[in-house]
Chains A and B, each alone.
Chain A
């Protein structure tokens, strides 16, 4: 008996150690600290081929982090987080996710992988694009010259930094960490990545959460109509809320008036620099005003300030607008090189002139959201995904789809596309949520329940009713 036991151990250990040895050259994993997280977590890297067609060719390093489950005893499959953008580095979001996904993290590891081209996975960054002075430059200052300068800084074979290869990396990380199956949560562009994952490796996925969907059928980058819808809702909600209605009875007119005025005479103001306190030039034109308001529509916090900013601007006070511009300068790094690389090659080629015109025909910011693509895409190096990439995804994996009704870029109609093509899905629309409302505490409890049950139907959604409606700042000193 004892001899048999020993033999059995020897037999089983050998192949395991060989496999481990091979993978070990590629994988590193160690304890580390990430910004905003007090506890130790794990950081790792994995060597992958830059071009999967040439597995022995150039290797790139994929950087990832694992936020370990508080209680790992139940052996539940981990949740991989797919970041947005395209161009957000998942690992840099660790601090926020650690807190937001606390309920999920109680029993599941959270895996964050820097998509190739972001963070520490061979980043594609346009330094000149992100170091532009927020107060002096205008959106239209981003010119071909800037794009060329950026391209000169990028290294590697750009055609390989696409969504499909990113998914191959994610699945390689899953395998290297020894997980048979994982669950994924994608937010914004992360949902597009998630859908590609579902098509390419359905057997790797136990369940999927798509939050604020960018479906295959809808090209990323046309935000005119959706932004106008979102802004219109903001105006309506302000008129429905007594204190906001009282403070800004003519908000829509004031908005039109400010935009018209800026179109006629762009402003050159001298203000105290919001951060430095010294005098600085502050250039405001129609595009800058609209793009700043547009970026406020993403979050409830940002939306709450919009009526006040518009109203004060109509009175000639642009200090609140300067404050918004300052708040927009976050440490959140977007890897613009990857953004252009993916949108210019995977989405814009599918956009016709008629589609652009239809999207630009709106009452909010016209074709402003197309500006950057129109500048960069014509001179960006090309690759084209094959037709399979654009097929609707029909994988039979339990999928929870979440949309925020106020979302300026991925409206609920986007979620409907995914809901239609997926056989095992449910679409939840959060009435008082904006972009990626899945990280709200209420939504996280629903997501957690879904991950445990693995059926998108029959979840307890009662807390969604308690999410309060929009409220707005009605006075420079705050309302009562």
Chain B
């Protein structure tokens, strides 16, 4: 025990000695909340705000009521574009063409073709075009309804079926746009934050010839590996905790009510999330150590571990694409945590069975890696990285 304590203190000293490297390792935890805030703000702005749209009308004089309705909804004439936005809208070049027969055809009850011309593949036009189409559709529908009404027809006939949607998600669900990002960042945080420590304490120490010294001491290799593991996963855990705390703070600056959503993590959810993530931090550290020790050089270790980080980001994305998830995803490490995090964010009761199984699987995998590594470190080949 004393031996182990000494080992752990040595590893922690090593890890915390280089403050700048540590700060960079932690930067994930500091940056992710800011990213989440900025990204969700922009998304909400695109989604909710109705910024002015400037359209080049031709034939506006034929349809004064239509143009007025559009103006009431912030869809304005290109002639009124303010100087600083002029270049943008000139490039976007949205045209609405109203035929000169508009008035006549309206009175005759004939269908009128109005032309909306724009580059429909231009991303920045998605929302404006959607709004223009919607307003014209509503305007047209309103006239249609009234036409039928004044002909003595019950306008409710136009709605034979009314679909009543009933959403069974709990009102306490957190905003999806936040939880998607946060879930991804948490997994990345767990896998990325400890990597520099892992590589340095394995491949790095080997190149500095510290590892030899360490293995000459009368301590078991298991203790050495465990000390390194705890140190690396501690950094990852701190980073993940930071991320959760800071996200809760940063999201409070975003007005999610605009999209009818909220974000809050109560104590129970917070603790449950940490309980899910800490085993993952250990798994990440053990994988990093394992592959870094396998590598022949520091450089190779770096590139191998960098590839490893792709794993946690790919899994949640793959899970998003997979609608029918096979049963094993509920307990497999990383897969299971992704699913459980989703439930926690939705405010659903935790499936403790899946929780236990996936955590156990994660710990088992970690233990397997640690034991294998401890065994391998007994061989000089591995220590001296003789191929």
B144–chain A nearest beta-carbon distance, Å: 9
- Chain A minimum-CB-distance residue to B164: A35
Decide yes or no whether A300 CB sits under 8 A from chain B.
no
**Cα A73 to Cα B263 with chains together (Å):** 10
> Given that A70-B257, A71-B257 are known contacts, is A480 also in contact with B149, CB under 8 Å in the complex?
no
Assess the A38–B147 pair: CB atoms within 8 A.
no
A340–chain B nearest beta-carbon distance, Å: 28
> Given that A107-B257, A480-B64 are known contacts, is A71 also in contact with B150, CB under 8 Å in the complex?
no
Assess the B264–A73 pair: CB atoms within 8 A.
yes
One of A102, A106, A308 near B150 (C-beta < 8 A): A308
Decide yes or no whether B62 CB sits under 8 A from chain A.
yes
Q: Which of B225-283 contact A (CB under 8 A)?
A: 256-257, 260-262, 264
Q: Which stretch from B102-110, B113-121, B287-295, B312-320 is at the chain A interface?
A: B102-110
Decide yes or no whether B19 CB sits under 8 A from chain A.
no
> Given that A73-B262, A477-B109, A480-B64 are known contacts, is A40 also in contact with B149, CB under 8 Å in the complex?
no
B182–chain A nearest beta-carbon distance, Å: 18
> Given that A274-B153, A327-B155 are known contacts, is A480 also in contact with B257, CB under 8 Å in the complex?
no
We find that the number of chain B residues with CB closer than 8 angstroms to chain A is 39
Q: Which residues of A contact B170 (CB under 8 A)?
A: 31, 40
Decide yes or no whether B217 CB sits under 8 A from chain A.
no
One of B102, B155, B264 near A326 (C-beta < 8 A): B155
Decide yes or no whether B83 CB sits under 8 A from chain A.
no
One of B106, B149, B155 near A320 (C-beta < 8 A): B149
A387–chain B nearest beta-carbon distance, Å: 46
Contact with B along A442-473 (1 / 0, CB 8 A): 00000000000000000000000000100101
Assess the A71–B256 pair: CB atoms within 8 A.
yes
Q: Which residues of A contact B262 (CB under 8 A)?
A: 70-73
Assess the A40–B167 pair: CB atoms within 8 A.
yes
Decide yes or no whether A385 CB sits under 8 A from chain B.
no
Contact with B along A323-334 (1 / 0, CB 8 A): 110110100000
Assess the A312–B164 pair: CB atoms within 8 A.
no
Assess the B106–A327 pair: CB atoms within 8 A.
no
B63–chain A nearest beta-carbon distance, Å: 6
- Chain A minimum-CB-distance residue to B102: A480
Q: Which residues of B contact A337 (CB under 8 A)?
A: none
A401–chain B nearest beta-carbon distance, Å: 27
B314–chain A nearest beta-carbon distance, Å: 33
Which among A68, A471, A475, A478 has the greatest number of chain B C-beta atoms within 10 A? Answer: A478
A46–chain B nearest beta-carbon distance, Å: 21
Q: Which residues of B contact A468 (CB under 8 A)?
A: 72
Which among A39, A107, A318, A471 has the greatest number of chain B C-beta atoms within 10 A? Answer: A39
> Given that A305-B146, A478-B146 are known contacts, is A320 also in contact with B165, CB under 8 Å in the complex?
no
Q: Which residues of A contact B109 (CB under 8 A)?
A: 476-477
B84–chain A nearest beta-carbon distance, Å: 24
Assess the A478–B157 pair: CB atoms within 8 A.
no
Assess the A305–B261 pair: CB atoms within 8 A.
no
Decide yes or no whether B379 CB sits under 8 A from chain A.
no
Assess the B148–A323 pair: CB atoms within 8 A.
yes
B101–chain A nearest beta-carbon distance, Å: 11
**Cα A324 to Cα B256 with chains together (Å):** 41
Assess the B257–A39 pair: CB atoms within 8 A.
no
**Cα A480 to Cα B62 with chains together (Å):** 8
Q: List 22 A-B contacts (CB under 8 A).
A: A38-B165, A39-B260, A40-B167, A40-B170, A70-B260, A70-B262, A71-B256, A274-B152, A274-B154, A305-B150, A309-B150, A320-B150, A321-B152, A323-B153, A326-B149, A326-B155, A327-B154, A327-B155, A476-B109, A478-B143, A480-B65, A480-B66
Q: Lowest 5 A-B CB distances belong to which pairs? A: A319-B152, A106-B257, A326-B154, A322-B152, A323-B149
A-binding residues in B (CB < 8 A): 62-66, 72, 102-103, 106-109, 143, 146-157, 164-171, 256-257, 260-262, 264
Given A40-B168, A323-B150, A476-B150, 10 additional A-B pairs, CB 8 A: A33-B166, A271-B152, A305-B150, A326-B149, A326-B152, A327-B154, A468-B72, A473-B150, A476-B151, A479-B106
